[in-house]
């Protein structure tokens, strides 16, 4: 089960509307390498992990990703808060308004809805952990692109925090992978 904590993991400082940036941030909200993909990926893969360490790590990182998903949603919500339909339309968000008004719907920066096809769970811990490490790097790269797309110091600060978390998660997944590789090597040793 999960219990909600009524706070963000990290503050979101947004003082002015920026519809273009809201649109770009959708990449990390409902895109292929988004926080949503990360959370669903890890929380799905954990069931078939062979060690307690990896079950724990995927549960905890999958949970932290939900908190990051909430941070991205908060940024988007604040960036579009109070704007007129005309402004949305001029910013290229007319199609979004037609289908979702100002709702924070999980689609990517180009409006493509989120799909489970973005993630994989193969039941092979080595394969899954490699996917997870690649996912963290892809998310890091996306954050670096997003940081270049804004001059707002508040947005940059929160994006830098999220970027740093991808680096830490990558490191922890790498340690989990080494651990499982050692386990498999030792099994091979005993069975021959």
Partner 1 sequence: MDERLSMLKEIQSLEFFAIELNLFLDTHPGDRAALRDFYSVRDKLLVAKKRYEEIYGPLMVFGHTPVKCPWPWIEGPWPWEIEYE
Tell me if 163 contacts partner 1 by CB under 8 A: no
Tell me if 176 contacts partner 1 by CB under 8 A: yes
Tell me if 159 contacts partner 1 by CB under 8 A: no
Tell me if 175 contacts partner 1 by CB under 8 A: yes
Residues near 99 by beta carbon (within 8 Å), at least 6 away in sequence: 105
How far apart are alpha carbons 93 and 161 in whole angstroms?
27
Answer for which of 36, 40, 43, 61 binds partner 1 (CB under 8 A) is 61
Tell me if 147 contacts partner 1 by CB under 8 A: no
Per-state percent for the chain, helix, strand, coil, to nearest 5: 70, 0, 30
Tell me if 183 contacts partner 1 by CB under 8 A: no
Nearest Cα residue to 17 out of 63, 78, 71, 74: 78
- Reported as half-sphere exposure (CB side, CA atoms, 13 A), residue 128 has a value of 23
* Window 62-101: residues binding partner 1 (CB under 8 A): 64, 70, 73-74, 77-78
Residues near partner 1 (CB under 8 A): 3-13, 53, 56-57, 60-61, 64, 70, 73-74, 77-78, 168-169, 172, 175-176, 179
């Amino acid at each position: 089960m999960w219990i909600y904590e009524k706070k963000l993991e990290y503050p979101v400082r947004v003082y002015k509307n920026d519809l273009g940036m809201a649109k770009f941030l959708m990449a990390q909200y409902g895109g292929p390498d988004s926080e949503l993909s990360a959370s669903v990926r890890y929380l799905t893969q954990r069931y078939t992990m062979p060690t307690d360490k990896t079950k724990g790590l995927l549960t905890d990182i999958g949970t932290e990703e939900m908190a990051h998903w909430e941070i991205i949603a908060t940024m988007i919500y604040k960036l579009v808060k109070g704007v007129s339909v005309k402004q949305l339309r001029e910013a290229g968000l007319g199609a979004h308004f037609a289908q979702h008004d100002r709702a924070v719907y999980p689609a990517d920066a180009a409006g493509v809805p989120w799909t489970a096809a973005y993630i994989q769970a193969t039941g092979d811990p080595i394969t899954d952990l490699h996917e997870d490490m690649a996912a963290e790097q892809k998310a890091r790269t996306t954050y670096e692109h997003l940081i270049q797309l804004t001059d707002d110091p508040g947005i940059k600060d929160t994006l830098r925090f999220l970027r740093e978390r991808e680096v830490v998660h990558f490191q922890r997944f790498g340690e989990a992978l080494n651990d499982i590789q050692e386990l498999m090597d030792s099994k091979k040793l005993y069975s021959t």
